[in-house]
Every structure is written in structure tokens, then in C-alpha cells.
Amino acid sequence: MEKPNNIQDLAQKWLDGSISPEEKAIFDKWYNQHDFSELKMDAQEGFDENALQERLRSEIKQQIPQFARAKLVRLWPRIAAAASVVLAIGFGTLYYANRHKEHNAGFAAVKNDVAPGKQGATLTLANGKKIRLAEAAKGKLAQEAGVSISKTADGQVIYQIEDSTSENKINTITTANGETYQVRLPDGSAVWLNAGSSLTYSASLLREGKRSVRLSGEGYFEIAKDKVHPFVVSTDRESVEVLGTHFNVSSYANDPLSRTTLQEGSVRMNGKTVLKPGEQAVVGAAGTLRIEEVDVDEALAWKNGKFVFADEDIESIMRKLARWYDVEVVYVGEKPDASFTASISRSDHIGKILSKLSFARKVKFKIEGRRVTVMR
């Protein structure tokens, strides 16, 4: 028998459409032969198993034609016993039980699905000149007071200091909604910018003995070690100081909280609180700060091409989708009171993601151009 974790991986691959023929054969065999009643039910706090089973029965019945419903009745004892397994593998089993049918329940309409974001950004030089990096040819882009700025073959921007005595020039690299980009700073530090973000810095990076940048939005940082010159990331809510480390900062203006997550090394928050790897500093609008232990992979999922939601509310999820897919989100009526746990590829079209979410909870979506309407 396959280990549950392996089956979860195969189920997610099946949902993502990335499963290989060999893997699909394994999943087919497991699904057809496994006795779900042997699996331990996942008793979560507040988990109403009977209510879940009844809702699943109703939703599945809606999507299966009349001639196939007799088969559903025969399968239901296994489906009901597998209810918690469905939650654990991202609803893969129930999708698989009806794998030849298109799931439309809860998904009101799709008029022009929206493709995922892509690599791109705008570099604004000190003289105000703007360079669209996705359209720029590789090679040297500009010279800023002794600092050479170039674009590599793989698309990232690199800064190289040629004259350290030159005056500083302020540059800003900005990703619009639907864009992501990587920049390598003069000290060798690398920064990945998520959608709807900006990074402002001097071309030579150094200011008053420190390597200083200002972030709006979200960025992942791999900081080159330099004990003489601390690296400081400033946002509207916090200041993060490091000597050499890997960490993620998410500080969007329309998010109620700012989060700094440490992957390795150490960072100092607002000049006093020190984070350890695996910890996250959460800062509220009033400047209150608390430290939490978190799953670092979850915080860095965006950089690795995924959306990972862990009991996340619909408004938070839709803000992330709006940035990546460059869509407007509109709520009709009372906002759905639902939370989701899922791992989804950022390379999927938005329609596929919303279809999965609508199947998981009583939420409906309608896509019209670049507008997504959310309904109960």
C-alpha cells in the first residue's frame, strides 16, 4: 500500500494536470482498491463530519448526470468514510471519483479566463527614465554614477559598482499586478519581488554605512554577508536589519498585517526583537509586534511557484489572486465566511483555482474579463 503522503502528492499532481502515466497508474490502483474506512479520520476542532458528508453528497449529486447516480449511491459509504481524507489531499478523491465530468457546481460563469502572471518589472532610474525590463534586450541597460546596470540572459537585473567614489543615485524597481522579478544588488544580495511590489535603493546600495533598501509589497531576500555594513529593509510598518541571511517580507498596503519570516540566519526587528529561523514577526497597523512559529515553506510558496493556503479566509486569498492575476475582486452581498487549506500552482489559470475553491466551500465566483465577483 502506498504511504498516505505519497498518495497526497499524486492526488495534487492529478488535480494540477502534471501526473505522469506511471503515477496515474499507481493512483488508479490505490483508488480502486483502498478501503477508506481503514484510514484514521482527521478529527479537527469544530469539525462536523455529518454536516460535511451531507454537503458533499449534495454537491456531488448536482454534478453527476441522472444515469450515473446509481453508481454514486453504491460508492457513497466509501466517499463518506473518506471525507477527512478528501480534506487532507485537497479534495482530490472526490474530484477523482467524478474524473470524467467537468465540475461546474458553485462556479457561476467564466467569460475569458485569466492567465497567470509572468516575469516583468519596470526600472526607474534617478533621472526619471523608465525601462520595461521584460521588453529590454539583454546586456547593459544603463550607467548610474559609476554603477553599471545590466540584464542577464535569464532575465534578472544585476548592479555592478565600477567607481565607488561616485554619488548615489536612487533607483526603483516595480512589479505591477501580474508580474514578478529578480534583481541582484551591487553587494551580491539577491531579491525576488512578488506581484504588486516595489524596491527602492541607491545604485551603489550604501547609505550612511549601511546597505539600505525600502520595500513596498512582498520580497524574498538572500543577503550577502558583510559584518561591516548591515543590510536594512524598511517598510511603512517595520525595519529589518541583518548581516547575512535569507528571509521574506510581506508588507502590502491593503493587507492588515505585515509579516517577516526568517528562513536562515538572524534578523533584528525594529532595532530590538531578534528572530530565529522558523519564526515570523507579525506587525499590525498600530505597530504592535508579535512573534509566531510558522511553516517557512508556506511563507515562501509564492517564490517557488505555488499558492499555499492554511486555514486562510477568502478575503486574504482573493487579495493574493488579485495581485498575481491582475484582476479586480468584487463581493456581492454578505462576504462568505469560509476558510481554505490548499496548495495550488501559480501557473494555473484563475478559473481552475476558483473552481477548486468553489468545490471546497459554499462560495461562488463569476469571471467577466478582468473582474472576479465573489458570492455566497
Cell (9 digits) for 116: 497567470
pLDDT digits (tens, 9 = 90+) for 104-159: 445 545 556 899 999 999 999 988 999 999 999 989 998 876 788 999 998 899 98
Of residues 28 and 234, more confidence is placed in 234
- How far apart are alpha carbons 172 and 163 in whole angstroms? 20
Burial class (CB in 10 A: 0-12, 13-18, 19+), 11: buried
Phi, psi values for residue 349, rounded to 5°: -70, 155
Query: What's the rounded mean pLDDT across residues 149-171?
Result: 82
Is 142:159 a contact under the CB 8 Å cutoff?
no
- How far apart are alpha carbons 299 and 262 in whole angstroms? 9
In which band, very low, low, confident or very high, does the pLDDT at 217 lie, cut at 50, 70 and 90? very high
> What are the DSSP calls for 38-61, one per residue?
GSPP---TT--HHHHHHHHHHHHH
In the chain, which ranges are continuous DSSP H helix? 4-16, 21-33, 49-63, 69-81, 83-88, 92-97, 296-299, 314-325, 350-360
Say what the pLDDT of residue 165 is: 54
Query: 330 in the Ramachandran plot: left (φ > 0), alpha (ψ -120 to 50) or beta?
Result: beta
Query: What's the rounded mean pLDDT across residues 57-61?
Result: 46
- How far apart are alpha carbons 203 and 205 in whole angstroms? 5
Is 138:153 a contact under the CB 8 Å cutoff?
yes
**Closest among 34, 45, 51, 46 to 85, alpha carbons compared:** 34
pLDDT digits (tens, 9 = 90+) for 354-376: 988 887 667 889 999 999 999 98
Q: At what angle do helices 350-360 and 314-325 cross, to 10 degrees?
A: 170
Say what the pLDDT of residue 306 is: 95
97 bridge partner residues: none
**Closest among 2, 29, 6 to 96, alpha carbons compared:** 29
Q: Provide the Cα torsion 331, 336, 337, 342; round to 10°.
A: -100
Say what the pLDDT of residue 161 is: 77
pTM of the model: 0.71
Q: What residue has cell string 490548499?
A: 342
290: Cα separation from own chain's centroid: 22
